[in-house]
Amino acid sequence: MENRYIIYLDDVRTPHPINNEWVDGNPEWTVVRSYDEFVAKVTEIGLENIDLISLDHDLGDSAMNEWLYGVVKNYTINYDNITEKTGMDCTKWLVNQWMDGKPIVRVVVHSANAIGAANMMGYINNYKHIHRLPQDCIRVQFPHDV
């Protein structure tokens, strides 16, 4: 049996072991902390070997600042105020991989940032809608440590 992977993108949280509700078998999370780590790890592993990807939106200080002073107060995100790449950048990269013919994998979002989470889910589900695939990207919570 080949190795299957589950990817967890988050700059600060570390997930607890996953239950079998989400994936077959009992794989361990592969944790990545940034856009660059995400792209490198997914490229190394190959989408054909990934069962699930869970995404966070805010991946650094300026994104957290925008969440605190934009999302929480105004329910908006101004991406011009964010200097590092976010989970949205990872989402766009992933969808571009699918558009290039790479395998489509299940993606969920665990971000506490409601606007960022909605942006990522909408982007993925819109791609899936256009291609007549189940729009199954949802917001979830996994137990984690900080």
Give residue 134's pLDDT: 96
- Joined tokens for residue 25: 């078998």
Give residue 1's pLDDT: 40
CA distance 31 to 8: 5
Backbone angles phi, psi at 73, to 5 degrees: -90, -35
CATH of the domain at 73: 3.40.50
CB atoms within 10 A of CB 91: 25
Tally the domains of the chain: 1
Instruction: Give the residue numbers spanning the domain of 26.
Output: 5-145
- Tens digit of pLDDT at every position of the chain (146 positions): 466 899 999 999 999 887 666 666 667 899 999 999 999 999 999 999 999 999 999 998 898 888 888 777 878 888 888 999 999 999 999 999 999 999 999 999 999 999 999 999 999 999 999 999 999 999 999 988 88
Please count the helices (runs of H) and the strands (runs of E) in the chain.
Answer: 5, 6
CA distance 93 to 96: 5
- Global pTM reads 0.90
